[in-house]
Amino acid sequence: MSPDATVEVHHPAALAHQFDSLEQQRDASTFGMWVFLATEVLFFGVLFATYAIYRAWYADAFAAASHELLIWAGATNTVVLITSSLTMALAVHAAQTGDRRRLMRFLVVTMVLGTAFLGIKAFEYYTGFREGHLPGPGFRFESTYFQHAQIFFSLYYLMTGLHALHMIIGIALMAVMLWLSWRGTITDEYYAPIEISGLYWHFVDIVWIFLFPLLYLIGRHA
């Protein structure tokens, strides 16, 4: 390569110095995000392993405790979250095609759906607290399963709580993406921030896809 100044001039504005091309730059961000998500898989994986062991040991108590959860709330939240994944995917599409107005609209819809999810979740927590589902001194449950139902509810609040924390971070991330889009930083050449925020959002959706049947749908036929 000759140290010709004109080579520099033809660099796309969005291309950082350390990358050869926009494509390489985007591959690097996608790769980094996936490696982060791999650590997240193991982070939640440990909780799912814990859940599986206790469910295998105390199957009846888990079924009885699961029946106390509001199935309509869990199902509605599943629909809300999958819909938000659709709008997120459409936001990435809008970014790729350089449609800024459409991108911002889909980001807002995704944030609204994420907030709706948290609202329904908060309502569930509220009714759960009132009925004495929170493990500890105030815990109330039929005497047969009193002890082991607390294990179910401990895992329920821990897993859905950590998931809700991820949702809050996701919504904050979308607010930043909205700001970047509004400022015009996001273009059809530089949309990696939208793409990898989308990867995060979809990952949080996948965690819920497993949480819903495992927590809400145990032995519902009984």
Nearer to another protein, 129 or 146 (CB): 146
Q: Does 53 bind another protein (CB under 8 A)?
A: yes
Query: What are the tokens at 72?
Result: 């309509």
Nearer to another protein, 99 or 157 (CB): 99
CA distance readout (Å), 1 to 4, 7, 12, 19, 176: 8, 9, 18, 15, 38
Contacting another protein (CB under 8 A), which of 11, 27, 60, 185?
Answer: 27
Stretch touching another protein by CB under 8 A, among 45-53, 118-126, 130-138, 178-186? 45-53
171 Cβ contact list (under 8 Å, min separation 6): 111, 114, 115, 118
CA distance readout (Å), 156 to 4, 129, 150, 151, 167: 62, 13, 10, 8, 16
Stretch touching another protein by CB under 8 A, among 1-9, 114-122, 176-184, 194-202? 194-202
Contacting another protein (CB under 8 A), which of 34, 123, 126, 146?
Answer: 34
Q: Does 97 bind another protein (CB under 8 A)?
A: yes
Q: Does 22 bind another protein (CB under 8 A)?
A: yes
d(CA 206, CA 198): 12
153 Cβ contact list (under 8 Å, min separation 6): 65, 128, 133, 134, 135, 139
Query: What are the tokens at 120?
Result: 């329904």
Q: Does 16 bind another protein (CB under 8 A)?
A: no
- The interface mask with another protein, positions 71-90, x = CB under 8 A, is x---x--xx--xx-xx-xxx
Q: Does 131 bind another protein (CB under 8 A)?
A: no
The residue type found at 91 is: A
Nearer to another protein, 12 or 126 (CB): 12
DSSP one-letter code for 145: G
Residues forming the site for another protein (CB under 8 A)? 21-23, 26-27, 30-31, 34-35, 37-38, 41-42, 45-46, 48-49, 52-54, 56-58, 71, 75, 78-79, 82-83, 85-86, 88-90, 93, 96-97, 148, 151, 188, 195, 198-199, 202-203, 205-206, 209-210, 212-214, 217, 219-222
